[in-house]
Amino acid sequence: MKSKFLGTGVALVTPFKSDLSVDYDALKNIVEFNIENGVEYLVISGTTAESVTITKQEKKDITKAVIEANKGRVPLVLGIGGNNTVAIIDEIKSTDLSEIDAILSVSPYYTKPTQEGIYQHFKAIAEATSIDILLYNVPGRTSKNVEPDTIIRLANDFDNIIGVKEAGNSTYQYLQLLKNKPEDFLVISGDDDLALGVTLAGGSGVISVIGQAFPKEFSEMIRLGLKGEAKDAYKYHYRLMDVIDYIFEENNPAGIKAVFEALGLCSASVRLPLVAASEGLKTKISNFVKAF
């Protein structure tokens, strides 16, 4: 099971039409584009999917659309997380997870629990389901870091907590996790700029934002990293460095949607309180895509 999540997973965007309704045709095209170009798995309803401004019904419909487009070809991960432990457990129990290989559950945001509170939160979730769980630590969004000791404690205590998407942008924290984790626990980069270095250091790959726009190149880079072929892998890294910076220059997912617009795969529209990428940023991104 755990080998399903070695390599490149991509945090899918939610494409919108001009009226900001979900563009399911574009979503299916993006799924096809990524599978054809070699990504190892797909992540539905993560941060990049604008999950906080998607309705419950839209989330069900988006999940169904991705399942239909995937046709069982690659593993699927579904985001189910938040800061209401009971509500998360209720959602897990009320969701048809028969086509889902794992859930991605973000650490509690806004309420700023202690490390013990974070541990008890994930303990309750792990004990409420048999599905595999990937923890998601993104302190820049949650305002609370999940310390490596807490992650390792959860990894040792619960068999269905199989890995962490670590997005603290801290090389030291990645190395702490890699040094102390159980042997088969997955440390997955959530930072596109650090993904190759983390993989070379012993990580399991990445759940990427930019990877969904350049899936062939990004997933090959990570595969080379998993094989320890650093010199060849960094050739891809250097090609993608500028656009990785661009997509996070204003906000995510406005940046990646601007890339998709330049590629002709979906519009750059996002829902408030996010706003679309500025014209200046769109121009930089468009020039990169044309020259790539």
Write out the binding residues for pyruvate: 48, 207
Instruction: List the catalytic residue out of 4, 59, 144, 165.
Output: 165
Q: Write out the binding residues.
A: 48, 207
Residues with Cβ within 8 Å of residue 97, at least 6 apart in sequence: 78, 103, 131
Residue 109 among the catalytic residues: no
Instruction: List the catalytic residue out of 119, 136, 174, 236.
Output: 136
Structure tokens of 50?
């604008």
Residue 165 among the catalytic residues: yes
Helix (H) or strand (E) holding 207: strand 205-208
Residue closest to 34 by CA, chosen among 208, 174, 194: 208
How many alpha carbons lie under 13 Å from residue 265 in its C-beta half-sphere? Answer: 22
Structure tokens of 3?
């080998």
Q: Identify the DSSP state of 134.
A: E
138 class by beta-carbon count within 10 Å (0-12 exposed, 13-18 middle, 19+ buried): buried
Place of tokens 């794992």: 102
Q: Are 245 and 5 in contact (CB under 8 A)?
A: no
167 class by beta-carbon count within 10 Å (0-12 exposed, 13-18 middle, 19+ buried): buried
57 class by beta-carbon count within 10 Å (0-12 exposed, 13-18 middle, 19+ buried): exposed
Q: Are strands 161-166 and 132-137 parallel, antiparallel or unpaired?
A: parallel
Which residues are designated catalytic? 136, 165
